[in-house]
Amino acid sequence: MEAGTTTELQEQDCYVSLTHDHLNAQDVIDRVRSPKAGAIVLFAGTTRDNFGGKPVKELQYSSYGQLALRTMMSICQAMVEKHSLTSIAMIHRLGTVPIAEESILIAVSSPHRQAAWRAGEEALEECKARVEVWKKEEFEGEDGVWRANRDGAVGQKMTEEEANADQQSTVQAAISKGTLA
Model pLDDT for residues 28-62, shown as the tens digit of each residue: 999 999 999 999 999 999 999 998 889 999 999 99
136 is known to lie in a ligand binding site: yes
112 CA to centre of own chain: 24
113 is known to lie in a ligand binding site: yes
128 is known to lie in a ligand binding site: yes
Q: Which domains does the chain have, with CATH numbers?
A: 6-177 (3.90.1170.40)
Kindly report the pTM of this predicted structure: 0.83
135 is known to lie in a ligand binding site: yes
Tell me, what's the pLDDT at 52?
A: 85
Q: How many CB atoms lie within 10 A of CB 41?
A: 21
Long-range Cβ contact pairs of 177-180 (< 8 A, separation 24 or more): 179/67, 179/70, 180/66, 180/67, 180/70
What percent helix, strand, coil does the chain show, rounded to 5? 35, 35, 30
